[in-house]
């Protein structure tokens, strides 16, 4: 999932890419920011598509995920539950 959101920022974002990680409160949170305000989309499943499935994987495996607007772009984040 981390590879997907970082790759999306590198391929589809603009400006510098930021990365953050936070582990606490029984969850791991990954944040990746870039200067492109366009939000990632979760496409409909298409068994014939050669690409575009990454956010489907994030959507299926993450406990939660979303997009936070910033003054210059966005931060895409996801969380996964952890064991104590």
Residue 48: predicted pLDDT? 62
Average pLDDT over residues 23-32: 95
- The pTM assigned to this predicted structure is 0.88
Domain residue ranges of the chain, discontinuous segments joined by +: 2-81
CATH number of 2-81: 3.30.565.10
Q: Quick check: 55 and 40 in contact, CB under 8 A?
A: yes
Average pLDDT over residues 11-18: 93
Q: Which of 63, 2, 67, 59 is nearest to 34 (CA)?
A: 67
Q: Quick check: 55 and 41 in contact, CB under 8 A?
A: yes
pLDDT in tens, 30-78: 999 999 999 988 767 666 666 667 898 999 999 999 999 999 999 999 9
């Amino acid at each position: 999932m981390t590879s997907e959101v970082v790759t999306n920022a590198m391929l589809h974002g603009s400006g510098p890419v930021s990365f953050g990680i936070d582990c606490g409160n029984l969850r791991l949170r990954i944040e990746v920011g870039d200067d492109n305000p366009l939000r990632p989309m979760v496409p409909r499943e298409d068994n014939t598509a050669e690409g575009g499935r990454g956010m489907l994987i994030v959507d299926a495996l993450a406990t939660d995920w979303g997009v936070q607007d910033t003054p210059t772009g966005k931060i895409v984040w996801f969380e996964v539950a952890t064991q104590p």
